[in-house]
């Protein structure tokens, strides 16, 4: 079994990645934006696993509804006490 990272570290990563995702792609760097979004989804999933919050980000990505699932997961984490976007 892989040890889990401390939730504080996961939250710090989420906040950093959320800022990058919100900025959107930089001209000529669309691949980097996609990679950042995937890293953000992975961090969201990690936080959900640590807090026993349901998520389906991979399924949403395949189904084309990833933005809605990200928003739902962010709300669920906020209800669990994790504010992914404290300055928003």
Query: Tell me: the pLDDT tens digits for 51-88?
Result: 999 999 988 877 778 899 999 999 999 999 999 987 75
pTM of this structure: 0.86
Instruction: Give me the pLDDT at residue 22, please.
Output: 86
| Nearest by Cα to 4 from 49, 34, 54 | 49
Instruction: Give me the pLDDT at residue 27, please.
Output: 65
Better-predicted residue by pLDDT, 14 or 31: 14
Average pLDDT, the chain: 87
């Amino acid at each position: 079994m892989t040890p889990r990272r401390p939730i504080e570290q996961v939250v710090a990563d989420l906040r950093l990645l959320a800022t990058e995702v919100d900025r959107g792609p930089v001209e000529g760097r669309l691949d980097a934006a996609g990679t950042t979004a995937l890293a953000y989804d992975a961090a969201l999933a990690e936080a959900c696993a640590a807090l026993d919050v349901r998520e389906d980000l991979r399924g949403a990505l395949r189904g084309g509804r990833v933005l809605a699932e990200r928003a739902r997961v962010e709300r669920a984490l906020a209800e669990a006490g994790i504010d992914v976007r404290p300055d928003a």
